[in-house]
A and B are shown apart, each in its own frame.
Chain A
Amino acid sequence: MSNEAKPVILPEKKTPVPRLGLTAKQLIPRLQLADNLFNLIGLLSTSIGILTMVILLGALLWNGAPYLTWNFLISFPSTTPENAGIIVGLVGSLCVMLVTVVTAVPLGVAAAIYLEEYANKNWLTTIIELNISNLAGVPSIVYGLMAASLIVYQLGIGETIATGGITLGLLVLPVIIVATREALRTVPRSIREAAFAMGATKWQVIHKHLLPYSAGGIATGVIIAMSRAIGETAPLVVVGVVGFLLKLPASPVSSQFPFVNFKWLTVRYSVLPYQMFDWVQEPDDVYQHKAAAAGLVLIAMTLALNASAMYIRYRVRKNIHW
């Protein structure tokens, strides 16, 4: 260390320059890269979903299509795998769906109208609303257990088509309520006010305006609920669906007075998805193919339901402008 005094050289003082971002030339390729990357990720995610479906459908077709004959559709189940058919499951599914629609639609639509139009907004209705949304997420087997104890044993209705239909009806009730409320909410306030200002009562507004204008939305909700119900198996297992049944329910129409009968409601039943499940458990290979064929029928039914929902929505949207 020298003691010589050295001139102190101060570092050159720089005025602070604001930090520049990237120039457009640098920036754009980076953004482009991020964009492309996300594009790729999205494409991959989508194709995984689609691919799964294609493989699933392909496998079903491969296994089941050769067995999907007219005879298969109209035959009873059989201990000889070659003769087994799905008529009992098919008719059972349709009967159960009918009961489901008849119980769930009026209840669901009425409940939605009440909640949306009549109920005062207070803590009680808020709790009810929250619980209805929650009910849609309750595992279906829980509904089955509830129905088994309440409908089968307490009410003594037994393990019948009526029980199955009501069980599924309760299961899809929240779906219908939520869909109906959504549909009612799409009717603009200005239309309600116009009707009320003309001197319409609440009920007149509901049945002359709200219901007709939201019919498309309600129908879509109902159909989506049905396509969920038609594939349900778990809750029905608990309320006594059978896989091997050799008897069709009695026809609901008869040639004698009073021309309708409700005996069909009180018999035991099978449904398509359970029929599939029953066959899958069989060791015989032919049964496996038959199960695939039944799956194809079930998928066709679901697709048809969804397609009709889309069609109804399209028709109604085309017809109503505000």
Chain B
Amino acid sequence: MNAPASPIPEGNLPAVEAELKAVRIRNRIGPSEVHVRAVIKNLNFFYGSKQALQNVNLQIVDRGVTAFIGPSGCGKSTLLRCFNRMHDFYPGNRYDGEILLYPDRTNVLSPETNPVAMRLRTGMVFQKPNPFPKSIFENVAYGLRLRGIKDKDYLHNRVEQTLRDAALWDEVADRLHRKATELSGGQQQRLCFARALANDPEILLLDEPTSALDPIATARIEEMVLQLKEKITILMVTHNMEQAARVSDVTAFMYLGELIEAAPTEEIFERPKKDLTEKYLTGRFG
């Protein structure tokens, strides 16, 4: 799907990549070759004069799920929205630092980088399902049409393929031209996944994608994420620690705008290095 990212050392970063590799070799699960897809370097973010992210440094591993956990207001969504520059639309927001996308090491946050070009490389699924009030087909084909693709056969094949990836095809195959807003909440959210996936994004950003859904719909989405991560790099914000434990390879714990600890999920849940992490994971605050 995507060209493999090359591991390039980035100085004083937590060696998430090496740790994950060790865990995978030990458990014999998943590809033992771990690459880096993106690197967050010295990232600070300000809403006006309020600093929401404090010097965040992290490696994002390729073809895996990196989960961001932490109490409300810890900056996890803010961090996620830096990846596709969603903060640009509101006045007073300011970035400082770098998010480098591999392999080309483009700095997402650089003023010279065109935000639209960056958004074309990423896909995003939001907290609340937000399909466009258009047909199911048009929702999925949206990103392709933005890219100027008009070939009907190609569009149709791609829409079908993506809806299959999003585990929605069987439910909507006979009503592709009905309004997307007629679907149930869980179906709408899977449609939003399909809409993002149709563009073949390098990174998929999930901002609490199951918080508005019931347990069954949530389980289906988690299952889908587990399948998708073989092909794509996924960043997921979640307030649900069990969810992070179930689907992620790397978990990053954030608190008050700081990245407290990031490690392979197995490590962080079983042997948290920081006291604060342990307290949060055991439910002593949050």
Residues of A within 8 A of B (CB): 120-121, 188, 190-201, 204, 209, 213, 319-322
Give A256 Cβ to nearest chain B Cβ, in Å. 40
Judged by a CB distance under 8 angstroms, whether B257 is at the interface is no
Q: Interface residue tally of chain B, by bracket?
A: 20 to 34
Q: Could you list 27 A-B pairs, sorted by A, with CB under 8 Å?
A: A190-B130, A191-B133, A192-B89, A193-B86, A194-B126, A194-B192, A196-B89, A196-B119, A197-B84, A197-B86, A197-B119, A197-B122, A197-B123, A197-B124, A197-B196, A198-B119, A198-B123, A198-B146, A198-B199, A199-B117, A199-B120, A199-B143, A199-B199, A200-B116, A213-B133, A319-B133, A321-B181
Once the chains bind, are A322 and B116 in contact (CB under 8 Å)? Answer: no
Residues of A with C-beta under 8 A to B122:
197
Q: Nearest CB to that of A187 among chain B residues?
A: B133
How far does the alpha carbon of A109 sit from the alpha carbon of B181 in the complex, in Å? Answer: 28
Give A12 Cβ to nearest chain B Cβ, in Å. 60
Within 8 A of A (CB), among B115-168: 116-117, 119-120, 122-124, 126, 128, 130-133, 142-143, 146-147
Once the chains bind, are B133 and A320 in contact (CB under 8 Å)? Answer: yes
Residues of A with C-beta under 8 A to B128:
190
Residues of A with C-beta under 8 A to B229:
none
Residues of B with C-beta under 8 A to A199:
116-117, 119-120, 143, 146-147, 199
How far does the alpha carbon of A192 sit from the alpha carbon of B133 in the complex, in Å? Answer: 12
Once the chains bind, are B133 and A198 in contact (CB under 8 Å)? Answer: no
How far does the alpha carbon of A102 sit from the alpha carbon of B228 in the complex, in Å? Answer: 52
Give A124 Cβ to nearest chain B Cβ, in Å. 14
Once the chains bind, are B132 and A195 in contact (CB under 8 Å)? Answer: yes
Contact with A along B176-215 (1 / 0, CB 8 A): 0001010000000000100110010000010000000000
Residues of B with C-beta under 8 A to A319:
133
Q: Nearest CB to that of B89 among chain A residues?
A: A196
Residues of A with C-beta under 8 A to B195:
194, 198
Q: Nearest CB to that of B129 among chain A residues?
A: A190
- Of A193, A198, A201, the residue contacting B142 (CB under 8 A) is A198
Give B129 Cβ to nearest chain A Cβ, in Å. 9
How far does the alpha carbon of A195 sit from the alpha carbon of B133 in the complex, in Å? Answer: 12
How far does the alpha carbon of A255 sit from the alpha carbon of B247 in the complex, in Å? Answer: 72
Give A309 Cβ to nearest chain B Cβ, in Å. 21
Residues of A with C-beta under 8 A to B196:
197-198
Residues of A with C-beta under 8 A to B116:
199-201
Q: With A191-B133, A198-B119, A199-B143 given, name 8 new contacts (CB 8 A).
A: A194-B126, A197-B86, A197-B122, A198-B142, A199-B116, A319-B133, A321-B179, A322-B133
Given A197-B119, A198-B143, A190-B133 contact (CB < 8 Å): no
Residues of B with C-beta under 8 A to A322:
130, 133, 181
How far does the alpha carbon of A213 sit from the alpha carbon of B181 in the complex, in Å? Answer: 14
Residues of B with C-beta under 8 A to A200:
116, 146
Residues of B with C-beta under 8 A to A194:
124, 126, 130-132, 192, 195
Once the chains bind, are A191 and B181 in contact (CB under 8 Å)? Answer: no
Tell me the interface secondary structure of chain A in the complex. Answer: helix
Judged by a CB distance under 8 angstroms, whether B11 is at the interface is no
Within 8 A of A (CB), among B26-78: none
Judged by a CB distance under 8 angstroms, whether B91 is at the interface is yes
How far does the alpha carbon of A319 sit from the alpha carbon of B146 in the complex, in Å? Answer: 24
How far does the alpha carbon of A121 sit from the alpha carbon of B90 in the complex, in Å? Answer: 10
Q: Sorted from nearest, which 5 A-B pairs have the closest CB atoms? A: A199-B120, A197-B124, A190-B130, A199-B119, A194-B130
Give B139 Cβ to nearest chain A Cβ, in Å. 9
How far does the alpha carbon of A200 sit from the alpha carbon of B84 in the complex, in Å? Answer: 12
How far does the alpha carbon of A87 sit from the alpha carbon of B122 in the complex, in Å? Answer: 62
Residues of A with C-beta under 8 A to B89:
192-193, 196
Residues of B with C-beta under 8 A to A201:
116
Q: Nearest CB to that of B118 among chain A residues?
A: A199
Once the chains bind, are A190 and B126 in contact (CB under 8 Å)? Answer: yes
Once the chains bind, are B124 and A191 in contact (CB under 8 Å)? Answer: no
Once the chains bind, are B130 and A121 in contact (CB under 8 Å)? Answer: no
Once the chains bind, are B91 and A121 in contact (CB under 8 Å)? Answer: yes
Give B117 Cβ to nearest chain A Cβ, in Å. 8
Given A193-B86, A196-B89, A198-B196, A204-B146 contact (CB < 8 Å): yes
Residues of B with C-beta under 8 A to A193:
86, 89, 126, 130
Residues of A with C-beta under 8 A to B120:
199
Residues of A with C-beta under 8 A to B124:
194, 197
How far does the alpha carbon of A204 sit from the alpha carbon of B146 in the complex, in Å? Answer: 8
Residues of B with C-beta under 8 A to A188:
130
How far does the alpha carbon of A213 sit from the alpha carbon of B128 in the complex, in Å? Answer: 19
Given A197-B84, A199-B120, A191-B91 contact (CB < 8 Å): no
Once the chains bind, are A191 and B146 in contact (CB under 8 Å)? Answer: no
Give A143 Cβ to nearest chain B Cβ, in Å. 35
Q: Nearest CB to that of A198 among chain B residues?
A: B143
Once the chains bind, are A321 and B130 in contact (CB under 8 Å)? Answer: no
Q: Nearest CB to that of B205 among chain A residues?
A: A197
Residues of B with C-beta under 8 A to A190:
126, 128, 130
- Of A120, A204, A209, the residue contacting B132 (CB under 8 A) is A209
Residues of A with C-beta under 8 A to B126:
190, 193-194, 197
Residues of A with C-beta under 8 A to B117:
199
Give A126 Cβ to nearest chain B Cβ, in Å. 13
How far does the alpha carbon of A197 sit from the alpha carbon of B132 in the complex, in Å? Answer: 13
